[in-house]
Amino acid sequence: MIFLTIILQNKANFRKSQMDVKLNISRDYEKKSKWTLGENKPNQTQFQSPANAPKQQEEKNRSRRLLIDRMKSLYKRGDDQYHIQHISRCSSTVEHSFRKAGVEGSNPSIGFMNLQDKYNSLLQILKELGGVVVAYSGGVDSTFLLKAAVDTLGAENVLACISVGPVEPEGQFERALKVAKSIGANLKAIEADELSDPNFTANKADRCFHCKSHLCRILLHIAEEQGFKHVVFGTNYDDLDENLRRHDARYPTADQLRSVTWQGRSGTWGKPANSIIGVGKDSEASESIIALLDEPDSRPIYFGVWGGSCDLAQALWKIKETRSVSEVEQLLAKVRVYLITLQDGTGQWLLDTFPKLFVISSRNTYKGMFGSADLTWVNTNIRNDHGILGAVYPTIAMGTKPGVKEGDSPSFLYLVSAVRGLNDPEQPNQPSWGGQFVRVDPARNHWTDHPSGGKTVRRWSEYFDNDFAARMDWCVKSYEEANHPPVVVLGHEADLKVRSGAMVKLSAQGTSDPDGDELEYRWWQYREAGSYDGTIEIRDAGKQDASFTVPGDAGKGKTVHIICEVTDTGTPQLTRYQRVVVEIE
């Protein structure tokens, strides 16, 4: 199954002035491993009017300039592009540094800010810390952090510690020393002696994790000895993706993610549509959406809108204003929207303006995941001992109780469970990890909450929680130490044609588990998907081979959908599905 997914974020996190739209486009999930840098990125200037283009370009680059200038003082090689790439890498670094430093209250929620905001927040956080030990390697992440710390706190309040020894690349120390000197930072070389740690010398996939933990303990000791209250690190997704690919080759590199990420507009949350879309309101994100829709590819494009939909609305507004009626119809037919509530005026505008547009509007359903309070589960499975991404997972957000927040994730889980073999995302009435929806007005292609609301998400929590926990294990564990999902294979075609009254044999012969785990089978009727209204009694529903008899009242043309659900016995237990569609002849 192939999807193109766009996630729009525009959340009122902590400070309205920092609100922003983050556009994250994951193209063709099943083929991620074939991505190359920039391959999927459309020509963003293709649809800009000539008069507008230079202004927009300038606006887009403005927030980058300040960081670029600072980096230029450190790196003399390469051109602006070099700096831009590495500075955007630094921005995620910075967030991790905040969290490592244990800064609460002034949570910057980096993902929702532009680069200027991020940089300002970094300086503010460093100010609050007062004095820091910087874990310094001479690489771009830690160098950027060191420079910001020295600029903000003064050299006397910053101590850069660099690890020297047999595991560090040759010549790294000399280069790092030179750069630290140019910044004016105090530098202390430490012998971390990683080779004394058996977890490191075991040389498994998690060696980097143990190496960093070992270093962290030493730095905390130095900080205490020398009167510094905090130790800060500069690291990001780049440190994990290699290990993730040991578990699933489809994980993209950080550069691949960047190549399909665009900047949206800020400060639109809660505002009426007419003030945030229209002439002069184009963004890098809205132009990219138009370019994607213009690609000669008829497959649907899913927009998971996690906040305000202003960039999507701007794109559709512009298409409506500038294209022929038939072209508008053709482009809109590709669009699938999943809105998490109406967070600015463009949500209602989309519904009012485009009755035929495929829109799922979750008003309550998302609460099946939002703010579930189990901090112990989060600490055990996500935050502690699960690497740098786990360490930055917040304990609380947006006024909910401590625990998992994830109020927007159902818009994505809707597609995840489809990839797992459960629902057809073209049919929002089918139960999915992202909930279940009803179409109220047959004249409109708009779907909203099922009467059971949040329960239609919550019923799957064990499945998606375990999936989440397994992915976090993959950040730090070797293949042998982690669990991987079963591969469900049917012993027959997925589409069967039978006569009324006939016995249907179901088989999952061929199903396997990559870890060799024992498997549990569960066959069940997926009633919402089939056109036969009655109940099907499945014999041996807990075995690999099952069967049922088609009821006599199941007339010609009716369909019965059966799910084969397979769960392994690894830790955490993982589940995958396969659907069988039986048509009555």
Task: Give strand pairing partners of 302.
Answer: 5, 336
Minimum Å gap between C-beta 514 and Ca ion is 6
How far is the C-alpha of 74 from the C-alpha of 81, rounded, in Å? 15
Stretch that binds Ca ion, among 14-22, 206-214, 460-468, 515-523 (CB under 5 A): 515-523
Of 295 and 481, CB closest to Ca ion: 481
Given a contact cutoff of 8 angstroms between Cβ atoms, the answer to whether 346 and 309 are in contact is yes
Minimum Å gap between C-beta 574 and Ca ion is 6
Provide the mask over 343-382, with x wherever binding to Ca ion is found by CB under 5 A and - wherever it is not: ----------------------------------------
Given a contact cutoff of 8 angstroms between Cβ atoms, the answer to whether 96 and 134 are in contact is no
Residues 6+ apart with CB under 8 A from 13: 19, 107, 109, 112, 397, 398
Supply 252's token pair: 């993209």
Interaction residues for Ca ion, span 457-486 (CB under 5 A): 483-484
Minimum Å gap between C-beta 476 and Ca ion is 18
Of 42 and 570, CB closest to Ca ion: 570
286 binds Ca ion, rule: CB under 5 A: no
How far is the C-alpha of 42 from the C-alpha of 288, rounded, in Å? 7
Cα end-to-end distance, the chain, whole Å: 27
Minimum Å gap between C-beta 210 and Ca ion is 24
Of 118 and 247, CB closest to Ca ion: 247
Supply 80's token pair: 């602006």
Minimum Å gap between C-beta 464 and Ca ion is 17
Residues 6+ apart with CB under 8 A from 96: 233, 234, 235, 236, 388, 391, 392
Of 117 and 517, CB closest to Ca ion: 517
Of 344 and 568, CB closest to Ca ion: 568
Stretch that binds Ca ion, among 225-233, 293-301, 365-373, 569-577 (CB under 5 A): 569-577
Stretch that binds Ca ion, among 234-242, 271-279, 364-372, 566-574 (CB under 5 A): 566-574
Minimum Å gap between C-beta 485 and Ca ion is 6
Residues 6+ apart with CB under 8 A from 156: 186
Interaction residues for Ca ion, span 216-255 (CB under 5 A): none
Stretch that binds Ca ion, among 229-237, 316-324, 368-376, 570-578 (CB under 5 A): 570-578
Given a contact cutoff of 8 angstroms between Cβ atoms, the answer to whether 453 and 367 are in contact is yes
| Cα 8 → chain centroid | 11
CA distances from 128 to 105, 111, 131 (A): 11, 21, 9
Of 361 and 483, CB closest to Ca ion: 483
Supply 210's token pair: 């143990």
Q: Are strands 437-439 and 446-449 parallel, antiparallel or unpaired?
A: antiparallel
Exactly one of 234, 368, 371, 570 binds Ca ion (CB under 5 A); that residue is 570
How far is the C-alpha of 95 from the C-alpha of 402, rounded, in Å? 20
Given a contact cutoff of 8 angstroms between Cβ atoms, the answer to whether 487 and 568 are in contact is no
Of 467 and 568, CB closest to Ca ion: 568
Minimum Å gap between C-beta 573 and Ca ion is 8
Minimum Å gap between C-beta 340 and Ca ion is 32
Minimum Å gap between C-beta 29 and Ca ion is 21
Of 96 and 576, CB closest to Ca ion: 576
517 binds Ca ion, rule: CB under 5 A: yes
Of 515 and 545, CB closest to Ca ion: 515
Of 145 and 470, CB closest to Ca ion: 470
568 binds Ca ion, rule: CB under 5 A: yes
Minimum Å gap between C-beta 562 and Ca ion is 23
Minimum Å gap between C-beta 512 and Ca ion is 10
Tell the burial category of 411 from Cβ atoms under 10 Å away from its Cβ (0-12, 13-18, 19+): buried
Residues 6+ apart with CB under 8 A from 582: 496, 497, 498, 504, 550, 559, 560, 561, 562
Provide the mask over 424-463, with x wherever binding to Ca ion is found by CB under 5 A and - wherever it is not: ----------------------------------------
Minimum Å gap between C-beta 24 and Ca ion is 29
CA angle at residue 484 from 480 to 489, to 5 degrees? 130
- Give me the DSSP letters along 2-47: --EEEEEE----S-GGG---EEEEEE-GGGGGG--TTTT---TTTT
What count of residues does the chain have? Answer: 585
Minimum Å gap between C-beta 569 and Ca ion is 8
How many residues of this chain interact with Ca ion, rule: CB under 5 A? 7
Q: Which helix (H) or strand (E) holds 376?
A: helix 375-378
Interaction residues for Ca ion, span 484-503 (CB under 5 A): 484
Q: Are strands 519-525 and 559-568 parallel, antiparallel or unpaired?
A: antiparallel
Of 428 and 570, CB closest to Ca ion: 570
Stretch that binds Ca ion, among 137-145, 410-418, 555-563, 564-572 (CB under 5 A): 564-572
C-beta neighbour count of 165 within 10 angstroms: 13
Stretch that binds Ca ion, among 107-115, 513-521, 544-552, 554-562 (CB under 5 A): 513-521
Minimum Å gap between C-beta 515 and Ca ion is 4
Of 424 and 515, CB closest to Ca ion: 515
Interaction residues for Ca ion, span 255-274 (CB under 5 A): none
Stretch that binds Ca ion, among 55-63, 263-271, 394-402, 506-514 (CB under 5 A): 506-514
Stretch that binds Ca ion, among 23-31, 132-140, 296-304, 561-569 (CB under 5 A): 561-569
How far is the C-alpha of 207 from the C-alpha of 179, rounded, in Å? 27
Residues 6+ apart with CB under 8 A from 15: none
Rule CB under 5 A: which residues touch Ca ion?
483-484, 513, 515, 517, 568, 570
